[in-house]
Amino acid sequence: MLKQDHREVAEGSISSDGGDGAVSVARPRGAWKQGWEHYFDTASDLLCVASPDGYFRDLNPRWERLLGYTVAELCAMRFFDLLHPDDIESTGAAMAQAVSGEVTLDGLINRYRRKDGSYAQLEWKSAVVVRGLCYCVAHDVSAREESRQALSTALERLQYLQHASGVCLFAIDMRGGTHRVTFLSENVSDLFGYTEEEFRQEPQLWECRLHPEDRARAVAETAALMNHGTCLREYRWQRKDGTYCWVRDETKLVRDKGGQPIEVVGTWQDITGRKEVEVTLERQACALVELSTPLIPISEDILVMPLIGMVDSRRADQIMATLLHGISSRHARFTILDITGVGVVDTNVAAMLMRTARAARLLGVEVLLTGIRGDVARTLVALDVDLGTVVTFGTLQAGIQHALRRVTPSGRR
């Protein structure tokens, strides 16, 4: 800590007792002067003497290297003129308190303008007032503060991305057989309504809030995590307000060098919206299947299935499943497959029709094939399709009339 202007020291011994100055330093003047001047000129710290009128009285060369001004230029201007506008008020208040002896400048950070217009950030470490002058030591913390600002900006961006993406990050300590939450991103309350502190205070919160239908599976997958090291699962979890949300849980097990589990890290993502879309799409798909393979009862004994569009392997399976289920549930005697709306009848379609007819015959049902156009008849002949006992008609109307004639007035054959 500086007690005197270095030029005053050069004139003789320094004396101080913290009050009226009664203790002298027993050191040769020449040695003191030489050592002091060397330190003052080479110190990496920023040393200065300032007066209450806002001017520097002296500065060491480190100031020149930092700000780009010469010492003479710096002493010719008020140091308040070099301060960043946002730091003038706080610096003035801190200096007034230091001069009055209320506080020191320790920890004060402010910005000084360089000659090129940029700003250096200084942290003041000590200040002593002697005979109205303030002797100060500061450090250049520009790099540190820039790194801190960059880190703060990155954290803010990460938090923004987390809130925007709906992905919550978590870490759980596995050492000692405990499952202790050590980290949760801030957006956990957005997802579940619970705060990070509530998760910490109640280690069983995750398991207790699992949907009853999903709990056993989710807990079993947690145990499997110990063997496989990773786990991807989806389950329902009860929010604080009592509602359930679908969660995509992607977890990784971290082990130490000895292979012992030490931590679980992962993400939680609310996929309720996606699940709702999946349910809607599944319902629509079922509706489309029903529309693509409609089974229409003409009477208690007669069922008609009009086919429209292309018939692929998946639809062929659906046709057979729907038809056989309808026959069994309605106890039908006749089934009419109408292919009027099928644009192309090839080997695959013909084979599907014959398989369906044979399956229906095994249930004791007579199969009629209607909608046989001229081009379809030529195709069936060219393919040498054996229709067996299948009765064919050119139109659906003809097929229905045939089936009705075979049925007794009571509705039975």
In this prediction, what percent of the chain has a pLDDT beyond 90? 35
Most confident of 25-39, 133-147, 148-162, 168-182: 133-147
Inform me whether the pLDDT recorded for 317 exceeds 90.
no
Say if residue 245's pLDDT is above 90.
Answer: yes
How many angstroms separate the CA atoms of 45 and 356, rounded?
94
Backbone angles phi, psi at 307, to 5 degrees: -105, 135
Domain segments of the chain as ranges: 6-140, 165-275, 293-405
pLDDT confidence of residue 292: 63
User: What is the end-to-end Cα distance of the chain in Å, rounded?
Assistant: 117
Q: Tell me the average pLDDT of the chain.
A: 84
Band of the pLDDT at 18, cuts 50, 70, 90? very low
CB atoms within 10 A of CB 382: 8
> Would you say residue 138 has pLDDT above 90?
yes
Question: Region 176-184: what's the mean pLDDT?
Answer: 83
How many whole angstroms separate alpha carbon 241 and alpha carbon 192?
Answer: 8
Q: What share of the chain is helix, strand, coil (3-state, %, to 5)?
A: 45, 25, 30
Q: Does domain 293-405 have CATH number 3.40.50.2300?
A: no
- Average pLDDT over every residue of 133-151: 90
CATH top class, domain 165-275 = alpha beta
pLDDT in tens, 340-352: 888 788 888 888 8
Q: What pTM did the predictor assign?
A: 0.49
Of the candidates 253, 279, 350, 357, the residue with the CA atom closest to the CA atom of residue 311: 350
Fold of 6-140: Beta-Lactamase (3.30.450)
pLDDT at 59: 94
| pLDDT for the residue 19 | 45
Task: Compute φ and ψ for 253, nearest 5 degrees.
Answer: -95, 130
> Residue type for 223, please?
A
Where is 376: in which H helix or E strand? helix 374-382
In angstroms, rounded to a whole number, what is the distance separating the alpha carbons of residues 122 and 108? 8
Residue 319, pLDDT > 80, answer: yes
Beta bridge partners of 137: 47, 126
Same fold for the domain at 165-275 and the one at 293-405?
no
- Structure confidence by residue, pLDDT tens digits, 268-282: 999 999 999 988 888
State yes or no: pLDDT of 411 exceeds 70. no
Using an 8 Å Cβ cutoff, are 382 and 376 in contact? no
